[in-house]
Amino acid sequence: MTKHYDLVVIGTGTAAMVGAMRVRAAGRSVAVVDFRPFGGTCALRGCDPKKMLISGANAVDHTWRMRGRGVAGDARIAWADLMAFKRGFTDPVPQKHQERYSERGIDTFHGRARLTGRNSLEVGEETLEFSNLLIAAGAEPRKLGIPGEEHLVTNEGFLELGDMPKRIVLVGGGYIAAEFSHIAARAGAEVVILQRGERLLPQFDPDVVGWLMESFRQLGVDVRLETTVQAVEQTRAGFRVHAQTKGKAVDVHADLVIHAAGRGPAIDDLGLDAAGVEHEGGRLKLNEFLQSVSNPAVYAAGDAAQVGPPLTPVSSHDAKVVAANILNGNSERPNYRGVPSVAFTIPPIAAVGLTEREAKDQGLLYRVKNQKASDWFTARAAAEPTFGFKVLVEEGTERVLGAHLVGPNVDEVINIFALAIRHGLTADDLKTTMFAYPTGASDVGYML
């Protein structure tokens, strides 16, 4: 059966939801398609379930830090109960999303979408024709092209684990490795991170990451840098991970091996060629309006587009841009100025705006305030010695250029710097703002 829509959206994650709702609110006919339960990565397999597990890890870590400081007794993670706590949030998501679409008169299709022409796709037995298509298909773990790759468990598997295995190896050393290692080690696992790069979390400032490394040491996470995983072999007892570190072969044994080696746009199986949608090196070729350069009916947003950083607020922002361009003609371009990012380790690490290297490369004149601040009140009250910051301010204009933070509350405090950077506030604007005391925000004035 063939149906026609003004807009068909591939995906039901953040980008899809925002795009579909906005176009539908303008009275256009809209359909969404997903082969997984509705809700997308963030709500079901990413940000939210992970943060539910971090709640447990945070609680035990805080108790451990307060031992001998007025808190007695032990605390430990009861994994099955923590997972049930997580499912209390995630289980109702697909049904809620389905209802939200239905209430707004958006048609829903369950199945894998495959493009069949410039303005048509198939999902199961149905053919959907569209005036516009929004590709909001998200990202998938990158293929590593190594023997035994099929043994790797992804974020999806980790966030559904029934039991916490004894020995875990994480392949890669970015966001997922940092966050999952902090959960797993606090739940009792022995964790090894095998990171190809020279340092962990290369997306963050090296000095600030350096201060965070103390928390990995304290936790007993074995971080091996400049180590590239080359094969995963199944053994009787579990897995043997073969890696190369600085020219030497190393083997690490594990009960579970997790893919934490990057994600790329999920566009391989969409049938893009049938729709005349050009792509190169695993990426869609898009113009400044997030529109396909070769098929003007087609737009993309979020992780599938990866024009901005692959983060949830970016998916939502992209979708608003696309909806406006579909409804009003191409008029809006995405603006990624001041996108904050947090890795939810304990304590968290956060960044927004320019790094020192970027400011240098742009030839900007700036001053830096850079300090490890373990003796500040915030660190002492939380019994958390890992606390520090690096903040860049432009000389002359006094605009805040970048902020790089680690320590208690920085996952919230970074949003103040994001506000300043996005809206061009000066160091003085922040210094003269009265923030409630004592809170994370009340440190901001002293960081400038």
Ligand X SMILES: Cc1cc2nc3c(=O)[nH]c(=O)nc-3n(C[C@H](O)[C@H](O)[C@H](O)COP(=O)(O)OP(=O)(O)OC[C@H]3O[C@@H](n4cnc5c(N)ncnc54)[C@H](O)[C@@H]3O)c2cc1C
Ligand Y SMILES: NC(=O)c1ccc[n+]([C@@H]2O[C@H](COP(=O)([O-])OP(=O)(O)OC[C@H]3O[C@@H](n4cnc5c(N)ncnc54)[C@H](O)[C@@H]3O)[C@@H](O)[C@H]2O)c1
In the complex, the residues that contact ligand Y under the rule CB under 6 A are 144, 171-177, 179, 194-197, 202, 228-229, 260-263, 310-311, 341-344
Compute the least distance from the CB of residue 151 to ligand X, in Å. 19
22 vs 196, beta carbon nearer ligand Y? 196
End-to-end C-alpha distance for the chain, whole angstroms? 62
DSSP letters spanning 361-393: HTT--EEEEEEE-TTSHHHHHTT----EEEEEE
Contact present, 312 and 301 (Cβ < 8 Å): no
310 vs 385, beta carbon nearer ligand X? 310
Query: What, of ligand X, ligand Y, none, does residue 11 touch, CB below 5 to 8 Å by kind?
Result: ligand X
**Inter-axis angle of helices 175-186 and 47-65, to 10 degrees?**
50
196 vs 317, beta carbon nearer ligand X? 317
Query: What, of ligand X, ligand Y, none, does residue 197 touch, CB below 5 to 8 Å by kind?
Result: ligand Y
176 vs 212, beta carbon nearer ligand X? 176
Query: What, of ligand X, ligand Y, none, does residue 353 touch, CB below 5 to 8 Å by kind?
Result: none
Q: By Cβ distance, which residue is nearest to ligand Y? A: 174
Compute the least distance from the CB of residue 103 to ligand X, in Å. 20
Contact present, 8 and 326 (Cβ < 8 Å): no
Q: Whose structure tokens read 């920085």? A: 410
20 vs 171, beta carbon nearer ligand Y? 171
Compute the least distance from the CB of residue 358 to ligand X, in Å. 20
Query: What, of ligand X, ligand Y, none, does residue 174 touch, CB below 5 to 8 Å by kind?
Result: ligand Y
Query: What, of ligand X, ligand Y, none, does residue 266 touch, CB below 5 to 8 Å by kind?
Result: ligand X
8-state DSSP, 279: E
Those residues with Cβ within 8 angstroms of residue 342's Cβ, 6 or more apart along the chain or in another chain:
348, 349, 350, 410, 411, 414
127 vs 374, beta carbon nearer ligand X? 127
Of 338, 125, 167, the closest CA to residue 251 belongs to 167
Compute the least distance from the CB of residue 107 to ligand Y, in Å. 30
Contact present, 351 and 205 (Cβ < 8 Å): yes
Compute the least distance from the CB of residue 66 to ligand X, in Å. 26
Residue 378 phi, psi dihedral angles, 5° rounding: -55, -45
90 vs 119, beta carbon nearer ligand Y? 90
Those residues with Cβ within 8 angstroms of residue 102's Cβ, 6 or more apart along the chain or in another chain:
108
Compute the least distance from the CB of residue 193 to ligand X, in Å. 15
What CA–CA distance (Å, rounded) separates 119 from 128? 8
Binding site for ligand X (CB under 6 A): 10-16, 33-36, 40-42, 46-47, 50, 112-113, 136-138, 155, 176, 266, 269-270, 302-304, 310-313, 315
Paired residues of 250 in beta bridges: 243
Compute the least distance from the CB of residue 340 to ligand X, in Å. 9
